[in-house]
């Protein structure tokens, strides 16, 4: 994995999965906690039968510490993140409570 930083709050992890390059863009807050992530994901989010790479990602809405380890404890994820179709693409919300 290789990391690059666009500025103090935007970083990207570059790596490969089975030879396919993947870039995961993360937005950080002033304390370095992840606030959002975005990448292109293979799929057919509109169920058209046309598979391809589509924007995917989400927002991290809370961080919590469990046993000394701080993790993204709630958020929402889905297709079309970062576009005007994000509200239609969101399909997963999570909250870790313990």
What confidence score (pLDDT) does residue 83 get?
96
Contact (CB, 8 A) for 26 and 12: yes
Under 8 Å between Cβ of 55 and 82: yes
Q: Read off the pTM.
A: 0.90
Give 67's pLDDT tier (boundaries 50, 70, 90). very high
Q: What distances in angstroms separate CA 58 from CA 3, 13, 50, 92, one per listed residue?
A: 20, 16, 23, 9
Mean local confidence (pLDDT), 33-59: 97
- pLDDT bin (cut points 50, 70, 90) of residue 10 is very high
């Amino acid at each position: 994995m290789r990391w690059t930083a666009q500025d103090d709050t935007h970083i990207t992890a570059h790596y490969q999965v089975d030879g396919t390059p993947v870039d995961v863009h993360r937005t950080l807050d002033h304390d370095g906690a992840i606030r959002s992530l975005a990448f292109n994901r293979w799929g057919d989010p509109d169920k058209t039968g046309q598979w391809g790479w589509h924007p995917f990602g989400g927002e991290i809405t809370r961080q919590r510490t469990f046993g000394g380890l701080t993790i993204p404890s709630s958020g929402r994820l889905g297709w079309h993140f970062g576009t005007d179709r994000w509200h239609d693409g969101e399909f997963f919300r999570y909250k870790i409570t313990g």
